[in-house]
């Protein structure tokens, strides 16, 4: 049985965090796979209810987990901080955004002409492209949090403004503003209460029976609110986001305690790899299966597409490691503003 962890030692991974990230990335891939298949098929499959059930907490949990380890680095000088928290993600965003736009360029050109395709590419530098918006937003959250700390803004004031923005359900049409308003409160909360989150995970490991009872109550409540159509109401969405995030932490701590779901943990250790590359095998598998017409169940196709998207992205990473294309997943030396001390690869980095 895993030892309960209340704090993360520098340079060491935390098992339940990897499980949580694995759980989240699987849900993210399932979302895009399911909606893509359903759009192509023209009707919903059996995965649709689960995808909707996870909607209130899928991204809040990802951002809350992303904020947990910020305390380790937030007081570094701006140059070092910017290299690790801004340039790092900017490099991978612009690289994979360019690859995705290039793959989809013929479709864009057919709909809007090649100038239209070029416009989409240019717009993606200021308005995140597709599923990569998460990578785009993280550096903004890092910088805003560090800036607020250095300016001495009271944390309660920052949190209240962030919570108010989420509750307001801002819709400007510009993803940067809208997603900042919707998600920053979860990231900032993860940063603020990280020790309490680790203590909560340790409690779950010590009291699995109590945790399971709470998890069941949460699932019934979350499902009831979602299917009643109230999940996006002001304040309700905020409560569901936090409740769901702690539910995922509970599930992840139980997984870490049992050691029965190592595949989920592996996905979590390499969640950023999957996030970058899943669109390629996902799109290819969807097209092949839909054209083949061998499988009629939309839900079954969605499951297959999800599995292949995850395994395909990992296979691409394995195939490129140490070779001429390793720049796809490892930031090269020229893309640093602070010279890297080691040639550490992207995936084995401590969860942070």
Q: pLDDT 10s per residue in the chain (352 long)?
A: 333 333 444 446 788 999 999 999 999 999 999 999 999 999 999 999 999 999 999 999 999 999 999 999 999 999 999 999 999 999 999 999 999 999 999 989 999 999 999 999 999 999 998 889 999 999 999 999 999 999 999 999 999 999 999 999 999 999 999 999 999 999 999 999 999 999 999 999 999 999 999 999 999 999 999 999 999 999 999 999 999 999 999 999 999 988 778 999 999 999 999 999 999 999 999 999 999 988 999 999 999 999 999 999 999 999 999 899 999 999 999 999 988 764 344 433 433 3
CB 159 within 8 A of CB 188: yes
**pTM, full prediction:** 0.90
Domain ranges of the chain: 15-335
pLDDT at 347: 38
Q: For residue 4, what are the CA distances in angstroms to 8, 24, 92, 247, 267?
A: 11, 21, 33, 17, 21
Q: Find the radius of gyration of the CA atoms of the chain.
A: 20
Give the count of beta carbons closer than 10 Å to the beta carbon of residue 106.
11
Q: What is the total residue count of the chain?
A: 352
Question: Buried b / exposed e across 285-312, counting CB within 10 Å, b at 16+?
Answer: bbeebbeeeeeeebbebbbbbbbbbbeb
pLDDT at 12: 61
Question: Could you tell me if residue 170 is left (phi over 0), alpha (psi between -120 and 50 degrees) or otherwise beta?
Answer: beta
- Nearest of 173, 182, 186 to residue 245 by alpha carbon: 186
Please count the CA atoms within 13 angstroms of the CA of 158 that sit on its side-chain side. Answer: 21
Please count the CA atoms within 13 angstroms of the CA of 66 that sit on its side-chain side. Answer: 27
Give the separation between CA 8 and CA 18, rounded to whole angstroms: 12
pLDDT at 8: 47
């Amino acid at each position: 049985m895993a030892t309960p962890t209340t704090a993360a030692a520098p340079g060491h991974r935390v098992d339940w965090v990897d499980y949580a990230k694995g759980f989240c990335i699987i849900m993210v891939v399932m979302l895009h796979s399911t909606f893509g298949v359903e759009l192509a098929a023209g009707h919903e499959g059996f995965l649709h209810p689960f995808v909707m059930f996870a909607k209130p907490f899928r991204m809040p949990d990802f951002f809350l987990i992303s904020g947990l380890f910020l305390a380790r680095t937030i007081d570094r000088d701006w140059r070092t901080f910017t290299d690790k928290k801004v340039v790092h993600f900017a490099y991978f965003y612009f690289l994979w955004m360019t690859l995705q736009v290039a793959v989809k360029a013929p479709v864009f050109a057919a709909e809007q002409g090649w100038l239209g395709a070029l416009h989409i590419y240019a717009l993606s530098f200021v308005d995140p492209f597709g599923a990569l918006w998460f990578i785009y937003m993280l550096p903004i959250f890092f910088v805003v949090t560090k800036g607020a700390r250095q300016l001495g803004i009271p944390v309660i004031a920052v949190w209240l403004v962030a919570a108010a923005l989420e509750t307001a359900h801002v819709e400007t049409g510009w993803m940067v503003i809208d997603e900042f308003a919707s998600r920053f409160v979860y990231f900032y909360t993860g940063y603020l209460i990280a020790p309490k989150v680790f203590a909560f995970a340790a409690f779950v490991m010590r009291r699995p029976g109590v945790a399971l009872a709470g998890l069941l109550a949460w699932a019934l409540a979350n499902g009831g609110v979602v299917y009643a159509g109230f999940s996006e109401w002001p304040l309700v969405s905020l409560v569901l986001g936090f409740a769901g995030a702690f539910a995922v932490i509970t599930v992840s701590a139980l997984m870490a305690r049992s050691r029965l779901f190592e595949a989920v943990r592996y996905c979590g250790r390499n969640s950023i790899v999957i996030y970058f590359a899943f669109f390629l095998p996902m799109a290819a598998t969807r097209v092949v299966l839909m054209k083949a017409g061998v499988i009629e169940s939309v839900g079954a196709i969605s499951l297959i597409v999800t599995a292949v998207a995850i395994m395909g992205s990992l296979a691409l990473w394995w195939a490129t490691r140490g070779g001429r294309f390793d720049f796809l997943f490892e930031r090269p030396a020229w893309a640093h503003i602070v010279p890297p001390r080691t040639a550490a690869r992207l995936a084995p980095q401590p969860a942070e």
